[in-house]
Amino acid sequence: MPDLTDSPNPLCRLGLIILLVVAVYGNTLNHGFVWDDTDIIVHNTLLDNLGNIPQFFLSEDKVSAATGYYRPLTYISFALDRAIWGLNPLGFTITNLVLHILVALLFYAVIAALFTKERLAFVAAMIFAVHPLAGETVNFHAGGRNTLLCASFALLSLLLYTKGKYVLAIVCFTCAIFSKEFALLLPLVFLFHDYRLQQKKVRFSAYSPYFITIICYLALRSFAVQQANFLETIRFSKQLWLTPYLVVRYLLNMIYPFQLKVMYDESTTISICILCLLVVILLAGSVFMYRRDKELSFSAYWFLLFLLPVVNIIPLVSNSLIADRYAYFSLMGFALGMATLICKADRRVATAVTIILCTGYALADVRQNNVWKDDETLFTRMANDAPEMFIGYRNLGLYYYNRGDMAHAERYLAIACSKPDIPPLFLTGAASIFVEANMLDKAEELLLNSLKQDSANPEPYVLLKMIYEQKGNKQLADSYLSKAREVIPAFEVEVARMAEVFCREGEKFIAEHNYISAKNIVWRALLAKPDFVPALTDMGRLGYEQDDFATATRYLENALALDPSNSAAKSTLSLVHQKQAKPTGSREK
């Protein structure tokens, strides 16, 4: 058996890592955009022009709502991809794949520099490069790009730091934190390197440039995000008892990565969490006993350090407590620990174990990659992975709704609405779709459930009033209007405000050419306030954009009947008439 772990030429090792990654992820090149890619990449008008790059430094990372994240370099990378590839997902896939290869090569270089053991570095990099847990980060454009960029810059910063090139290390550290918040932990790695690996006398003044950079980052961030004060967003979870369980769960996923999920529905008990705490204590004790082994102690430190942000110490803005992409950094620590144990064996044994591991990982990767091919495949797997959660079924329902397949949309939305974790706002949104499909009984049921959870939302009252009026029950319709006025002060003002919010959201969707989402949200504005001129005008604009001139004319004429001086309705109606007057097949110049 050839000794792959002890090749005398480092370039051969690097080439083998590259070839292996390309082989493992080659079947992703025909994948499309999935999940949050649609909002973050496809419909993000800021990415249309590289001249918008300065705005990324003053913009919050958003999907459909504010997230509190600030990652301008990630959006710059998306803008560059858009400039090169347009909206061809192949280009974005290639970029993610190149970045993962770069991370694996830099990981190799860092381990070789820290411990001067090429063989160890090679085995660790091979394990990391093809480990299935990294697959979600590589496959998910919107969800993985920030981690890939951050890891690339963070490892490069650490490599430069070990070589004494501190100015360049600070530059790369800055790029890392502007890619993702994980890199804020990097100075603690520098500290471990100096104190534990190099056994230097620690002088905290040496780290001051990094803290100055962090302060500048926080200052810029404060202008960009809605929750401006970073410290106010840091609060400890009320379920800290889950932390040991999550640590063990991630570790088990790394040890046996052949049953990974795209959505984890994690339920546990105090007893299991106590058992997991004992396991964590046992592992910590083992590391302490072997603390003289620098490779093992560094791997354990890295693994635990980069799990801290994602093990529920500070609550995550996420549908699930666990996601494979959250553990991408920690996976490096695990890979180093595995490589350290493997390299303690005879070289032939180490080679055999490395080949078996990487072969098993590669086969699992190829299979798991197929899950990310398109939205339908991904959301179906999501629903199967977490059948008691609403998110997979809701995503499937909206997927079919956006394609005009109302039968499937209604089926999956109904399942989503039956799940205990569905928020009341999603119940109301689903109800509006059922109203559109004239399934009034189903809509009524969802709206009543929504009111039980959140009686301060004016939309359910408005929809229930409309439903009961359509059913001919004016007394019940009036009772819900009266109830709304009792529960919500200035109810009519709140309804008008809600309609304005819906219109702004709809106008954003129109600008992004996301006409199906625009129609749904503007239609909800009209349900709330049927004579709302901005909503009528927006529906007219939608008709114009989609060449539905009859619909456009009807809504715009209604708007002008209510407000004859409305300039937006006038100009759009004029465009409708001009477009109607053009002969078939003519092109606008």
Query: Looking at residue 63, what is its pLDDT?
Result: 59
More confident call, 517 vs 359: 359
Non-local (6+) Cβ contacts of 550 within 8 A are 543
Helix (H) or strand (E) holding 69: strand 66-69
For the chain, the maximum distance between any two Cα atoms, rounded to a whole number of angstroms, is 87
**In this structure, what token pair is assigned to residue 371?**
């899950």
**pLDDT tens track for 389-431:** 999 999 999 999 888 888 899 899 999 999 988 888 889 888 8
Cα–Cα–Cα angle for 286, 337, 275, rounded to 5 degrees: 45
How many percent of the chain have pLDDT more than 70?
Answer: 92
Query: Looking at residue 468, what is its pLDDT?
Result: 86
Phi then psi for residue 398, to 5 deg, are -70, -35
DSSP structure class, residue 450: H
Q: How confident is the model at residue 253 (pLDDT cuts 50, 70, 90)?
A: very high
Residue 280 has pLDDT above 90, yes or no: no
How many percent of the chain have pLDDT more than 90?
Answer: 38
Q: Could you give the CA distance from residue 539 to residue 523 in angstroms, rounded to a whole number?
A: 8
Burial of 133: CB neighbours in 10 Å, binned 0-12, 13-18, 19+? buried
**In this structure, what token pair is assigned to residue 129?**
């490069």
Helix (H) or strand (E) holding 68: strand 66-69
In three-state form (DSSP H/G/I as H, E/B as E, the rest C), the secondary structure along 500-514 is HHHHHHHHHHHHCCC
C-beta of residue 37 within 8 angstroms of C-beta of residue 74: no
Q: How confident is the model at residue 588 (pLDDT cuts 50, 70, 90)?
A: very low
Domain 390-488 shares a fold with domain 493-581:
yes
Q: Could you give the CA distance from residue 63 to residue 69 in angstroms, rounded to a whole number?
A: 10
Which segments of 264-405 does DSSP mark as H helices, in order? Answer: 270-289, 294-305, 328-343, 347-369, 375-385, 391-402
Which segments of 178-326 does DSSP mark as H helices, in order? Answer: 186-192, 208-224, 230-233, 243-255, 270-289, 294-305
Question: Which letter, b or e, does each residue of 176-196 get, where b requires 16 or more Cβ atoms within 10 Å of its Cβ?
Answer: bbbbbbbbbbbbebbebbbee
Query: Looking at residue 42, what is its pLDDT?
Result: 86
C-beta of residue 499 within 8 angstroms of C-beta of residue 523: no
Domain 493-581 CATH (choose: 1.25.40.10, 3.40.718.10, 3.30.1360.200, 3.60.15.10) = 1.25.40.10
Query: Is the CATH number of domain 390-488 1.20.120.450?
Result: no
Residue 47 has pLDDT above 80, yes or no: yes
**pLDDT tens track for 521-541:** 888 888 888 888 888 898 988
Pairing relationship of beta strands 61-62 and 66-69 according to DSSP bridges: antiparallel
Q: Could you give the CA distance from residue 526 to residue 383 in angstroms, rounded to a whole number?
A: 32
Domain residue limits, the chain: 4-63+72-372, 390-488, 493-581
Query: Looking at residue 492, what is its pLDDT?
Result: 84
**In this structure, what token pair is assigned to residue 54?**
């300065």
Residue 155 has pLDDT above 50, yes or no: yes
Q: Could you give the CA distance from residue 224 to residue 181 in angstroms, rounded to a whole number?
A: 14
Q: Could you give the CA distance from residue 217 to residue 207 in angstroms, rounded to a whole number?
A: 16
**In this structure, what token pair is assigned to residue 502?**
């819906």
Q: pTM (2 decimals)? A: 0.86
Q: Could you give the CA distance from residue 93 to residue 22 in angstroms, rounded to a whole number?
A: 12
DSSP three-state, residue 61: strand
Residue 238 has pLDDT above 70, yes or no: no
Residue 363 has pLDDT above 60, yes or no: yes
Smallest CA-to-CA distance from 210 within 246, 177, 180 is with 177
Non-local (6+) Cβ contacts of 527 within 8 A are 432, 435, 462, 463, 466
More confident call, 290 vs 327: 327
Smallest CA-to-CA distance from 446 within 416, 472, 480 is with 416
Q: Could you give the CA distance from residue 424 to residue 415 in angstroms, rounded to a whole number?
A: 15
Q: How confident is the model at residue 583 (pLDDT cuts 50, 70, 90)?
A: low
For range 444-466, the mean pLDDT: 87
Q: Could you give the CA distance from residue 222 to residue 218 in angstroms, rounded to a whole number?
A: 6
Helix (H) or strand (E) holding 67: strand 66-69
**In this structure, what token pair is assigned to residue 383?**
């629903």
Mean pLDDT of the chain: 86
Q: Is the dihedral of CA 178, 179, 185, 189 positive or negative?
A: negative
Q: Could you give the CA distance from residue 95 to residue 78 in angstroms, rounded to a whole number?
A: 9
